[in-house]
Structure 1
């Protein structure tokens, strides 16, 4: 294709992406970046990924797009906004309620983003017969955040997440790898400046330095990825956060430009997940848990880990009304749940 034809294709591609609900779309080269790869290797070597062994096992694929797919020539980086209508930190003032990260209050983003990525990929192949594509959302060994920066849709902020001048910190990311040679949009400049709002907002001091996250101290890791009892030093700082944490994202000043994500109805919060009562969650058995969280990314952590998290929140609540539901879990078959119940009971009585 001549340059004019490529430019026309890219403009139409971005228009189609917008029609499919993507708030951001940019193009980056598919060549591996040795600097990004070295940073990842150093982070893993220092053990700051905790027990997420899957990040090590496919390290060779995470070095860059062509390490995963040598035929790739371009990366189309995309983002869907899930900006909340209200500051998610407001729920801190209601300790009898559980705080669920904004991204998990609606439908499972993996399904929504991947469905629309596939639609965009089909459109691209129809426009350019013979083009090859692969789509990725979160579960593959793809470094979406640095690729998003390389494609110009934002920059990787001091909290290590992507930040957009238009959408703040609230973007679900996906990528399409293609054999097409598309013109890159250029890397986005870092706009964090001297701001450290995300660093100081972290309740567990999970940032040993700007642009560096120690996952072992991160509330999202502790409540979602970590199995077994949470170390005691982190239980009180968890507050009433029972699934993930939005504090470092919500603190970012660039969010003042973000608008609530009304276009993607699948991301609108379910009423029962915006401010769930701890007493009700503590009573969940496995069957009820699976029913309540059907279609939600929360379902993957299982009943035991969710109830464990809710017990820490109950222990932090100071609410005597939670003594009875906590007591009912003192002899729970799951050791981590029983341990959390004993800790919560000691705090409440």
Structure 2
């Protein structure tokens, strides 16, 4: 008999209304986890809804039931709110009203929402954690549609299996999901090969902002609000742009700064190649994430924010070099 998972037992007991939420600026892992759990709970006869603050990027419009995701905040109090792929319910960036909260995640640290939380930082994605939960509860309910949601989160959060969070379980989970009918090539094409012309025009503008620091170890890009206006692209279209900076030979840390509508706030995505823990850099600014992929928000002028980030990265690189010397 499989070990009991407290989150499973808690969900089994719930007879009231359940709300599933994920973080703002949602990605494939957050959305995939949420919809997979939603469809499973529906099969189990639960009264469940989904909501998030921001719209889902169009690249995920193929996911089943995505049109059923509502907008936060909802003027309703739920019996239980489950926050997925987030360090806590606060990452929803909007009020979530519930009598009780439950967190399902794979990020290091974060808020303990309840004694039933299911958080495993060794998992390659939150969909891996959700997959374990569903298999523990009733594997027969995992159909092709649920598997597609789970695989989408796994594919995107591992950077197409390139990040250092990829482990044996990730590949075994991918194999399992293909046995449920998932077509890896099809999903990769739907997620990564449906850019509109406006996105390429935006990318052209963003790549022109490339700057290098620390003798080529740091690469940065900027998305100014004016770029979005002149190209007709959306902020969500910048997903993955930071990887162009990360791909440069010799770069250890890459980041992209995305200007928000107030023109003073910048959404920052950091990427590493294994040597530098970018999560520690993000945490200095109140953010978080993983060793090779993290994010945060800063306020200030473009140059102020960029200088702060470069300095923080230099300090983290220096720490790493000191450790290497000692070893």
Question: Shorter-chain-normalised TM-score: which range?
Answer: under 0.3
| Structure having the higher Rg | 1
Whose relative contact order is higher, 1 or 2, with alpha carbons under 8 Å and at least 6 apart? 1
Q: TM-score, normalised to structure 1's length? A: 0.25
Q: TM-score, normalised to structure 2's length? A: 0.26
